[in-house]
Amino acid sequence: MSAALIEDAKHILEKLVAFPTISHESNLAMVDYMADFLRQLGARVFLQHNEDGRKANLFATLGPQKDGGVVLSGHSDVVPVEGQDWSSDPFMMLESNGRLYGRGTCDMKGFLACCLATAREAAELNLERPLHFAFTYDEEVGCFGAQALMRELARRNIKPAAALIGEPTMMQVIEGHKGCYEYTTNFVGLEGHGSGPDLGVNAIQYAARFITHLMDLGEELKDRAMAGSRFDPPWATIQVGRISGGAGRNIIAGHCSVEWEMRPVQPSDGAFVKESLETFIRQQLLPSMKAVSPAAGIETIIVGEVEGLQVVAQSEARDIAFEITGANGADVVAFGTEAGLFQEAGISAIICGPGSIEQAHKPNEFVDIDQLRSCLKMLARLQSKLI
């Protein structure tokens, strides 16, 4: 690999890190930069904006306009830096001891930079099959960008054969991960004076019973673990991450909301939990709430239900990944990615990217320059397969 290529990737990464694309902020400045970059290379580019127009997905294609080919996919957003103790400006890339420091260097702008540097070389080739780029928004908060992009690809009749998602795996080939379902369950009770608890409906106390049921389900899920599961832990998990409600010690709580998540190993885990919750709410909680106040109720909002990446016997993406990395085995991981959404859309998907998940989301996030080198080598082999 030429020294110029790694220097180009580093230079691009420095630019990408300087865009503070934290999930709740706009990513448009960075998307415009990447779109201009790819357009100048002759790529066909389209942007897909979200509802309020502050964020966009970028999809670009080099090579012929036909079915097949490979998508290189990554998210444009990064997690916040508030409350983290950084020893340098997180949005100014810093090179030290063979590492590049900065928010997103590892998760996952390092991969995006490698994609753009590779695009510059691929544009010079006569590609027989298309090389696509999918850069999404809002991955860190529920994969909303990728979900919208899958609908748009179907609408435009764009049918890549395989997708390579460059989340940080230390360049290991990853063929499976759990899903990630996120929910907020809101409890509406009836406020009243603390001295007469039976005259009101205490939303916090019903939320507590709901949480206890969730914890029981978490135990039951352990028994549902599939034999030979390679996941750690091997079963689907449930976790309550935030609770808020009530007005004060001597007031019966009128509202409570519970933010919780589930990581299903298989879609049937999700169905099992949802059915059990629905029955519990209908038979146990609602009757006693409504006996005091007919207006009382419980509502669960689906924040996002991102399917896991299922390990499949035949996988074009895995075959390609083995060929271009030289790996002969694939693993599974506990963290979620957009790969499951590609698979659900009928596009064979695999995960392999530079940097370690250990550094993701942490202060002083970094990627080893050697990891970027390995990634560029892999992408060079990929483009030579598309000639």
Interaction residues for Zn ion, span 167-186 (CB under 5 A):
167
Comparing CB distances to Zn ion, the nearer of 14 and 107 is: 107
Residue 61 · residue 121 · CB < 8 Å: no
Residue 211 · residue 187 · CB < 8 Å: no
Comparing CB distances to Zn ion, the nearer of 108 and 201 is: 108
**Least distance (Å) from Zn ion to the CB of residue 19?**
16
Could you write out the three-class secondary structure of 23-64?
CCCCCHHHHHHHHHHHHHCCCEEEEEECCCCCCEEEEEEECC
Q: Which of 386, 387, 6, 364 is nearest to 162 (CA)?
A: 386
Residue 161 · residue 68 · CB < 8 Å: yes
Q: Please identify which residue in 8, 14, 77, 107 interacts with Zn ion, judged by CB under 5 A.
A: 107
Q: At what angle do helices 3-18 and 369-385 cross, to 10 degrees?
A: 110
Comparing CB distances to Zn ion, the nearer of 167 and 269 is: 167
Active site residue 77: yes
Interaction residues for Zn ion, span 224-263 (CB under 5 A):
none
Q: Please identify which residue in 5, 72, 106, 108 interacts with Zn ion, judged by CB under 5 A.
A: 108
Catalytic residue among 8, 107, 138, 139: 139
Comparing CB distances to Zn ion, the nearer of 136 and 202 is: 136
**Least distance (Å) from Zn ion to the CB of residue 146?**
11
Comparing CB distances to Zn ion, the nearer of 310 and 359 is: 359
Comparing CB distances to Zn ion, the nearer of 167 and 368 is: 167
**Least distance (Å) from Zn ion to the CB of residue 224?**
28
x/- binding map, residues 132-171, to Zn ion, per CB under 5 A? Answer: -----------------------------------x----
**Least distance (Å) from Zn ion to the CB of residue 351?**
10
Rounded Cα distance, 259 and 238, in Å: 11
Rounded Cα distance, 59 and 27, in Å: 14
Residue with the CB atom nearest Zn ion in the bound state = 107
221 binding Zn ion? (CB under 5 A):
no
Residue 355 · residue 367 · CB < 8 Å: yes
Tell me the backbone φ, ψ of residue 189, rounded to 5 degrees.
-110, -145
Comparing CB distances to Zn ion, the nearer of 108 and 332 is: 108
Counting residues that bind Zn ion (by CB under 5 A) gives: 3
Catalytic residue among 77, 138, 307, 368: 77
Active site residue 139: yes
CA atoms within 13 A on the CB side of 210: 30
Angle at 341 between CA 340 and CA 346, to 5 degrees: 95
Residue 23 · residue 79 · CB < 8 Å: yes
Tell me the backbone φ, ψ of residue 366, rounded to 5 degrees.
-145, 165
Burial of 82 (0-12, 13-18, 19+ CB in 10 A): exposed
> Which range binds Zn ion by CB under 5 A, 93-101, 108-116, 189-197, 379-387?
108-116
Name the residues that contact Zn ion, by CB under 5 A.
107-108, 167
Residues assigned a catalytic role: 77, 139
